[in-house]
């Protein structure tokens, strides 16, 4: 029986991956065409207002990088190279797009992963507590705080924390991932990175805690009124066992779907937060690429995000089938 389930799982994954091929091709075409519709390019950006770039030099550079060709022809050339693993060269960084993403992605991952852990550790218990006391003042207070956290933009929270903890109290550094000019090693280097990441992690966590708390609360409310929960209470089981052993086990199933969909955010960075705190992450690099019209990086990174989204969806389906035997992968 386990061997049969394993074979079914492998067949399901293979089918899903094959289904993603035309979807990814369509996504690549749409992303490339949308980017191509934006007026101007990298050559226009660097040549704007610079008298050293004559019309002849601009035409020569556009011909060199293929910007003078029709959009469809450029896409076919790019797609052929992408199928070989070559997603073009970032004109801003003068390196292949894959290398630039790999360089900045792990800084973003570290920031997003720490904030994600903090979100789950705080939001899930608060969501459970809010669901078990639906008409209490505590529930109203938690819900109000959650809505405020969702509504407040990250740049406002970031600037507010910088004003208080950086400019007024002088506890944390202003920006960056490491102290400029410092040559720390060992634990000192680790601690230096930690104090630089503290405020960005708090900002991202405050943005996510409210959403995860409401998700958990909604899932728990759907479960705790089920018949099997009433039966467990009628048997005299302690409330803690009823909530955390019986109710939470089933309430976590819809949350797993959201966990899988959160996979892209762990690797694609937080553009606003990284920009506010000067974190050299891939989100900030993506925002800079948009401003500088580095469209090869924009296309490559957007496609990378789409791949992560599809993979997160697939992982969610697999996790749901493992958590709930009633769900069969077909």
Q: Concatenated DSSP letters for 216-262?
A: HHHHHHHHTTSHHHHHHHHTT--HHHIIIIIIHHHHHHHHHHHHHHT
Q: Report phi then psi at 39, rounded to 5.
A: -65, 140
Domain ranges of the chain: 2-96, 104-294
pLDDT digits (tens, 9 = 90+) for 25-63: 999 999 999 888 888 888 888 887 777 788 888 888 888
This prediction has a pTM of 0.85
Would you state the pLDDT for residue 270?
A: 82
Q: What pLDDT, on a 0 to 100 scale, did the predictor assign at position 210?
A: 86
Please state, in angstroms and rounded to a whole number, the distance separating the CA atoms of residues 241 and 229: 11
The 8-class DSSP code of residue 165 comes to: I
- With tokens 């959650």, the residue in question is 146
pLDDT of residue 260: 73
> Which are the contacts of 76, defined by CB distance < 8 A and separation ≥ 6?
none
* 3-state secondary structure (DSSP) of residue 107: helix
Tell me the sheet residues that pair with 89.
96
Query: Any idea which architecture 104-294 has in CATH?
Result: Orthogonal Bundle (1.10)
Identify the pLDDT of residue 328: 60
Amino acid 327: pLDDT: 61
Q: Is 137 helix (H, G, I), strand (E, B) or coil?
A: helix
pLDDT at residue 202 in the model? 92
Stretches where the chain sits below pLDDT 70 are 1-6, 324-330
């Amino acid at each position: 029986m386990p061997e049969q389930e394993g074979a079914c799982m492998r067949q399901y994954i293979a089918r899903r991956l094959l289904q993603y091929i035309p979807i990814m091709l369509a996504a690549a075409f749409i992303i490339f065409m949308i980017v191509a519709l934006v007026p101007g390019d990298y050559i226009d950006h660097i040549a704007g207002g610079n008298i050293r770039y004559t019309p002849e030099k601009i035409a020569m550079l556009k011909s060199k990088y293929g910007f003078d060709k029709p959009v469809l022809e450029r896409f076919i050339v790019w797609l052929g190279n992408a199928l070989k693993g070559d997603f073009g060269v970032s004109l801003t960084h003068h390196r292949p797009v894959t290398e630039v993403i790999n360089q900045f992605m792990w800084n973003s991952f570290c920031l997003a992963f720490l904030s994600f852990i903090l979100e789950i550790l705080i939001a899930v218990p608060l969501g459970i507590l809010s669901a078990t006391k639906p008409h209490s003042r505590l529930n109203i207070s938690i819900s109000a705080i959650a809505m405020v956290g969702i509504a407040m933009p990250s740049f406002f929270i970031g600037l507010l924390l910088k004003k208080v903890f950086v400019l007024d109290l002088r506890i944390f550094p202003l920006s960056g991932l490491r102290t400029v000019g410092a040559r720390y090693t060992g634990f000192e280097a680790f601690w230096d990175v930690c104090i630089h990441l503290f405020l960005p992690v708090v900002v991202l966590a405050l943005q996510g805690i409210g959403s995860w708390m409401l998700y958990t609360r909604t899932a728990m409310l759907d479960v705790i009124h089920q018949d099997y929960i009433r039966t467990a209470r009628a048997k005299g089981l302690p409330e803690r066992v009823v909530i955390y052993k019986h109710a939470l086990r089933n309430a976590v199933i819809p949350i797993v779907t959201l966990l899988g969909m959160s996979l892209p955010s762990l690797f694609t960075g937080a553009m606003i937060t990284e920009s506010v705190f000067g974190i050299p992450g891939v989100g900030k690099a993506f925002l800079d690429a948009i401003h500088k019209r580095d469209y090869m990086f924009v296309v490559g990174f957007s496609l990378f995000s789409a791949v992560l989204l599809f993979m997160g969806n697939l992982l969610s389906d697999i996790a749901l089938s493992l958590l709930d035997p009633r769900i069969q992968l077909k």
